[in-house]
Every structure is written in C-alpha cells, then in structure tokens.
Structure 1
C-alpha cells in the first residue's frame, strides 16, 4: 500500500505543470517589446539618410532627362512609406497597454500585430521592392548615356545582385527572427494567462 501511495505521488507530480515565475515572464516580455521598438527606431534612422540623399540629389543636380526626377520621386516615396510604416508599428506597440487589464486581449493584439508584420514582410515588401527597383532603374537612364558601358553594366549588375540578396536571403532571415521572437512572446503570455486561470 505504501508503494502504491508513493507511485500515485510520483504520478501526480509529473502531471502537475511547473509554476511559472510571473515577474520573470513579465520582465522578459517587456524586454522583447523594448527590443522590437528599438529595432523600428534603428530602421527609421537608417532610412532617413537615404531619403535626405534623394532630396539632396533633387535640389543639387540638374538632370537632362525627366525620368531622373521621376525615379527620385519613386525612391523618395518608398523611403517615406517605409518610415511611416515603422512609425505606425511604434505607435501600435506604445498604445498596447492591455497586458495587466485584459491579458487575453493583449495576446490577441500580439497575434494580430504579428500577422500584420508578416503581411508587411511578404506581400507589401514585394510591392515595395518592385516600386523601389523601378524607381532606381528609371533614374539610371540618365547615366546610360554618360557613363562608360562597362561601368554602367557593373553598377546595374551590383544593384540587381543587392536586390536579389536582400529579397531571397536577408529578408528570410529577418522574417524568421521576428517570427521566433513573436512566438516566444505569445507562448510566455499564454503560459502566464493559463496559470492565472488555474489560480482563479
């Protein structure tokens, strides 16, 4: 009988889910949010110089072809779009303060935010890349008539290679890292929410 009681005790211990440290998960979640916000700020600060270079080119150089101005407008529009999207993302994170009031709603917010980010990285990024590539291509028409042929081929080849590396390789790494971070955040919050349910 004693052995049976011991076996039941061991079985119950295995069935019981380990308690999570509330404060540890909350601190970890806050750090994840801060890192995400910091990433958005870095991307804004990296895009600003690109936009300022386009503005500088517009007002400093006198181009022979109207296509150069059209190309610059398209590149500037892409830069502005990127900055605006990141500002919206920052605002969404700043406005999401439902963690302590309504944890379940907050988990839904993170899931919705994750979905919107995935759309930005896939469908929207394709349109953004196409528009940016077209803008740069139109801008290059000006140099087709002035640069050495081999130099022009080198510049165009390097630009296409850079777009290919970003689209086919770097963007996949970027998406995977962000998806992993969102999964960790959601898993932690769901564990915390489930534990509060168990304790209620």
Structure 2
C-alpha cells in the first residue's frame, strides 16, 4: 500500500509539473529568426563597400601587371559569393513557414539549415579564405616593385595576421554563437512538440 501511495505521489508530481508556455516559446523563436535574418542582412551591407572599392580600383587605376586585375577579380568573386550565400540563407528563413502546419518538418528544416550553416563556416570558409588570400596576394604583386620592402613586409604581415585572427579566433566565436542560437531554437521547439504529444 505504501509503494502504491509513493507511485501515486510521483505520478501527481509529474502531472502537475510546470508546462512550457507555448506563446513564450513561439515569441522567442520568432525573435531568434528575426535576429538571424537581420544578421545576414547586416553582413551583406558590410560586404557591399568591399565590392564598390574593388570596382573603383579596377576602373580608376591603371595597373602594370595583369595579376592585379586577376587578383581583384578573385576578391570580387569572393565578395559576390558571400552575398549570394547570405541571400540564400535569408530566403531559406523567410520561406520556412511550416512551424504551425508541420512542426516536426520545421524542426527537421532547422536541423538541416544548422548543418548547412556549419558546413559554410568550416569547409566553405576554408576555400573562401584560400581564394581571398590568393586574390589579395596577386594584387600585392603590383606593389612589390613600387613600395619600400619594409612597408611591403608590414602590409603582408598585417594581412596574414588578420587572416589568422579571423580563422583561429573570430570565426570560432561566430560559430559558437550561431550554434548556441540554433540549439536553443531547436530544443525549445522539440520540448513544445513533446508537450503537445503528451497531452494528446
């Protein structure tokens, strides 16, 4: 009898456990989606000046070496690639309206989107960095013959240092923040989904 009373007590505790407030979860989720879209949009706006600078250099400066034009083309290609990828990401978020129709499909969409973002930040970012570095290196050939050797070494060292800081430090912070945001979004929706299953 004592065991039965204990079992009933445990059951009642579970039954009266605080339920997740679905309105709060959905509002948080909407805010996270908006922040993610806004972040992509801001990154596009930050990349646009780089393209304008490359176009300006191409049109207004007469370079002595063809490598400068090739280098600028590669840098412009990297900038365009970055903008296109961010536009695709924004489009994916805007078009993902399955939360209320098919919640489980929406959770799967988020998991796939998270995976594709991780690939963009790791494998694709390596290729992007190599291409960007190659473009800048080809562009720097122009200045190798006209600038003082120490100034040139300073510029090259500063550029390499910036690439290393971005790759080894800043990118890891960026990835961790985004992973944390995705984890929070997915976990909240999964908990909400499980709660509705339990109530049915």
Q: TM-score range by the shorter chain?
A: over 0.9
Q: Could you list the per-position Cα deviations for residues 129-159 of structure 1 after superposition, in whole angstroms to 9, with x for gaps in the alignment?
A: 0000000000000000000110000000000
Cα displacement (A) at 1:3: 10
For 1:177, the equivalent position in structure 2 comes to 177
Please state if 1:120 is matched with 2:126. no
Cα separation, 1, equivalents of 2:56 and 2:22: 52
Deviates further, 189-198 or 81-90: 189-198
Separation (CA, whole Å) in 2 of partners of 1:192 and 1:66: 59
Deviations 1:142-192 (A, max 9, x none): 000000110000000000000000001100111111111100000001011
Q: 2: distance between equivalents of 1:102 and 1:86?
A: 26
Write out aligned runs for 1:1-200 (5 A). 5=5, 7-16=6-15, 17-200=17-200
**Cα displacement (A) at 1:92:** 0.2
Once residues 193 and 179 of structure 1 are traced to their aligned partners in structure 2, the CA distance between those partners, rounded to angstroms, is 21
How many residue pairs get aligned? The number is 199
Q: Deviations over 1:44-80 (max 9, x none)?
A: 0000001110001000100000000000000000000
How far residue 18 of structure 1 moved from its aligned partner, in angstroms, is 3.0
RMSD: 1.5
User: What secondary structure is seen at the aligned counterpart in 2 of 1:12?
Assistant: helix
Cα shift at 1:12: 2.1
Return the offset for 1:197.
1.1
- TM-score normalised by structure 1 residue count: 0.95
The TM-score with structure 2 as length reference comes to: 0.95
Q: What is the DSSP-based 3-state SS (H/G/I as helix, E as strand, rest coil) of the residue aligned with 1:121?
A: helix
Deviation at 1:8, TM superposition (A): 4.0
Describe the SS at the equivalent of 2:19: coil
Separation of aligned partners in 2, 1:80 and 1:8: 63
Distance 2:189 2:3 in 1: 39
Tell me how far 1:42 sits from its aligned partner.
Answer: 0.6
